[in-house]
Amino acid sequence: MGCLSRFVSLPRLSASLEVGLGYVNNCLPRKLRDAFLAEEGYIFRSRFLSTQRSPSLVDFLDLTLPHTWYPFARTKKRRVVMHVGPTNSGKTYMALESLRLSASGVYCGPLRLLAWEIAERMNKANVLCSLITGQEKREVTGAKHQAMTVEMADVTRHFECGVIDEIQMIACWDRGFSFTRALLGLAVDELHLCGDPAAVSIVDQILATTGDTFEVKQYERLSPLVPQTRALGSYSHVRKGDCVVAFSRRDIYSIKKEIESSCKHNCSVVYGSLPPETRTKQVTLFNDVASGSDILVASDAVGMGLNLNIRRIIFSTLEKFDGTSMRALTVAEIKQIAGRAGRYGSKFPEGAVTCLDKEDLPLLHHSLATLTCPLEAAGLFPSFDLLALYSASHPNMTFSAVLEKFVAKARMSPQFFMRHCESMLIIADMLEKLPLSLEDRFLFCVCPVDTDDHMAMGALLQFATEFSRQEMVTMKKVITPATIRVPRTQTALQQLESLHKVLELYVWLSLRMEDAFVDQEAALSQKELCGMLIEQGLQLVGRAKPKRKVHNKRELKLMSLKGIASSWTSEREEVEKDDSSHLFQDKDELHAEKGHKSIAESELWMPKWTR
Ligand SMILES: Nc1ncnc2c1ncn2[C@@H]1O[C@H](COP(=O)(O)OP(=O)(O)OP(=O)(O)O)[C@@H](O)[C@H]1O
């Protein structure tokens, strides 16, 4: 595979919207109009013009006909094949076979890890395949195939074959809109969808307007999944190949700690906010028999498509916190997670599933025997085109107000919902006073930032503020170099994960605004080292008695972020002086260690915006 390369993917005025050319010429600001007209070939004469309606009557808030936003895909009569069945039934395998045999193709999946896995699989099968995710583009010379995260789906290019994996995520509150966009927008001859049967009805309804042909192929599970009649009872009973599923970071670490202190097993961990590279390594460790990491403790992130050598899934609980309150897991969620056990062709071809507490067993058994309810609505989000056109015709409205208009309108459509806007609204409000162009504002609003993470949100504000001053946004302006050691506590680890999100955000922005975010190389290497520190930290955090001297001084030095910080030569001396400092350590731990600096002093090296 080729090396990491830069790419620019500004929100495209893709002319994918049926609007009146007259409106484009007369009402759009020059920059938008030029960009709109510059797109090759796909300016469509508006249905509004063809009915002689005045452009002023165009209802840009009309979200009921999203298939019209993708005229290139509408030029094709696509053959859509939906592969449905339980997990581990071979549906993705069959879809990927079509992709492999096609002259050109695109795979769209929900996880970077999955995109990586598919790109690797294709290349191993001598089908050259590039990898594209929000954070990277690994182009393979001569490749006519691409594996990507669904958000990156290119609706302006023709492929012979397309695959959308885990299509039931079309109903996902936060990301469903990207699946709807790929479903309607991929300009392919043949489109394969893989997922849960619950998605058939909504997909059928959405495609009804497109003129595509639609067929459904049913699959049965390839290997048995046995719900056990006995609960685990205690974590001291775990065995090699077990995967314990928990729904909060805190629980994941306390379970890991309990297992590692009560029996001789080592645990790998997988959860959503871990850097993807770290997740991959943890998965690899678990899959590798010789690694010694024979138990997996994971969040529900483990439920999607990954090929894992799991013998048995153990639910620590059947409830999860959904952001506002505790709720029971849905039948679909229980089936999806349980289905990870016993992969066809793996070391454990027969899977088992149980719970920690025997009180949960009846619900588990009932859920596994129940059909999932059909999904009722799909996510939707207006294209930048629509937002730009509506904003242009309402110049006095703030961007938040424009977004709110769309959200209100989406509530009127039974087939679609628009939730993703909430995080966009939070960002739009935060950036409202900054003098940004609509395009730049939109870009900051859609960047993949965790709005619950204060450090990441602080970074975003700082990045946007510097950018709005029309200055270069260097790393030096926002992060003070420091020596950061392997985290040994959950708090320290969490802070490092936040720092990783900040660095990812910088990289994401630098790939799209490279003239302003000029330190991409530094951010990338920082990110990598940050990930290495997190990996090392994962081995320490959760153990009953953290071992103080796991690494020798040289290793620690290699692991420290000082290495990259020192590439900013002007700061090098400062860093050298603070070689003994511990950043991101818990207060208690710091006080307990004679000679170490207090937490107040440590904060000196926190990213600047947190002070
Ligand atoms: N016909 C086949 N020949 C060889 N291996 C197969 C075949 N079908 C499936 N497999 C293997 O079985 C495993 C499960 O298949 P696959 O990932 O396609 O299932 P799935 O139904 O898509 O599961 P999930 O919903 O969990 O992603 C994979 O390792 C896959 O490579």
Residues 422-452 pLDDT 10s: 788 899 999 999 999 988 999 999 888 888 8
Question: For residue 582, what pLDDT band results from cuts at 50, 70 and 90?
Answer: very low
Mean pLDDT, all residues of the chain: 78
User: Is the per-residue pLDDT at 247 higher than 80?
Assistant: yes
Look at residue 520 and give its three-state secondary structure: helix
Listed residue (500, 520, 499) closest to 509, CA to CA: 520
Q: How close is the Cα of 91 to the center of ligand 1, in Å?
A: 6
For 518, half-sphere exposure in the C-beta direction (CA atoms, 13 angstrom radius) is 11
Q: How close is the Cα of 108 to the center of ligand 1, in Å?
A: 17
Q: How close is the Cα of 140 to the center of ligand 1, in Å?
A: 26
Are 156 and 41 contacting, i.e. CB atoms less than 8 angstroms apart? no
Please state, as a whole number, how many other Cβ atoms lie within 10 Å of the Cβ of residue 608: 14
In terms of domains, do 207 and 328 share one? no
In terms of domains, do 108 and 209 share one? yes
- CA–CA dist 154, 187 (Å, integer): 9
User: Is the per-residue pLDDT at 478 higher than 70?
Assistant: yes
In terms of domains, do 233 and 148 share one? no
Lowest-confidence region among 218-232, 431-445, 544-558 = 544-558
Question: For residue 528, what pLDDT band results from cuts at 50, 70 and 90?
Answer: confident
How many domains are there within the chain?
A: 4
In terms of domains, do 98 and 180 share one? yes
In terms of domains, do 344 and 401 share one? no
- CATH of residue 255's domain is 3.40.50.300
The domain in which residue 502 lies consists of: 454-610
Which atom of ligand 1 has the smallest separation from the CA of 221? 21
User: Is the per-residue pLDDT at 609 higher than 80?
Assistant: no
Look at residue 204 in the predicted model and tell me its pLDDT. 97
Q: How close is the Cα of 277 to the center of ligand 1, in Å?
A: 23
In terms of domains, do 244 and 198 share one? no
* Residue closest by Cα to atom 12 of ligand 1: 344
Q: How close is the Cα of 307 to the center of ligand 1, in Å?
A: 9
**DSSP character at residue 320:** E
* Residue closest by Cα to atom 24 of ligand 1: 87
Cβ neighbors of 46 (< 8 A, separation 6 or more) are 18, 19, 20, 21, 23, 58
**In a domain? residue 1:** no
Percent of the chain with pLDDT over 90: 43
User: Is the per-residue pLDDT at 35 higher than 50?
Assistant: no
92, 114, 218, 243: residue to mutate for ligand 1 pocket, most atoms within 8 A of CB: 92
In terms of domains, do 230 and 360 share one? yes
- CA–CA dist 10, 439 (Å, integer): 8
In terms of domains, do 407 and 364 share one? no
- CA–CA dist 542, 458 (Å, integer): 29
User: Is the per-residue pLDDT at 564 higher than 70?
Assistant: no
- Higher-confidence residue of 498 and 356: namely 356
Are 157 and 12 contacting, i.e. CB atoms less than 8 angstroms apart? no
**In a domain? residue 10:** no
Are 212 and 73 contacting, i.e. CB atoms less than 8 angstroms apart? no
User: Is the per-residue pLDDT at 405 higher than 90?
Assistant: no
**In a domain? residue 15:** no
Are 268 and 550 contacting, i.e. CB atoms less than 8 angstroms apart? no
* Residue closest by Cα to atom 26 of ligand 1: 87
- CA–CA dist 368, 86 (Å, integer): 10
Which residues line ligand 1 at a C-beta cut-off of 6 Å?
85, 87-93, 194, 222, 305, 307, 339, 343-345
Calculate mean pLDDT across residues 145-158: 94
In terms of domains, do 390 and 325 share one? no
Look at residue 444 in the predicted model and tell me its pLDDT. 93
In terms of domains, do 317 and 362 share one? yes
Which atom of ligand 1 has the smallest separation from the CA of 305? 27
User: Is the per-residue pLDDT at 554 higher than 90?
Assistant: no
In terms of domains, do 88 and 179 share one? yes
**In a domain? residue 182:** yes
Q: How close is the Cα of 222 to the center of ligand 1, in Å?
A: 8
Look at residue 420 in the predicted model and tell me its pLDDT. 63
**In a domain? residue 7:** no
Look at residue 324 in the predicted model and tell me its pLDDT. 66
Question: For residue 323, what pLDDT band results from cuts at 50, 70 and 90?
Answer: low
ipTM here: 0.98
Task: List the alpha helices (DSSP H) in 263-393.
Answer: 276-287, 331-338, 361-368, 384-393
Percent of the chain with pLDDT over 70: 77
Structure tokens at 332: 């679909």
CA distance from start to end of the chain: 42
Torsion region of 600: left, alpha or beta (phi above 0 gives left; psi -120 to 50 gives alpha): alpha
Calculate mean pLDDT across residues 217-226: 94
In terms of domains, do 340 and 405 share one? no
99, 222, 340, 353: residue to mutate for ligand 1 pocket, most atoms within 8 A of CB: 222
Cβ neighbors of 119 (< 8 A, separation 6 or more) are 1, 107, 129, 130, 131, 138, 147
Question: For residue 372, what pLDDT band results from cuts at 50, 70 and 90?
Answer: confident
Domain-ending residue, one of 430, 446, 462: 446
**DSSP character at residue 568:** S
**In a domain? residue 8:** no
**In a domain? residue 11:** no
**In a domain? residue 470:** yes
Look at residue 452 and give its three-state secondary structure: coil
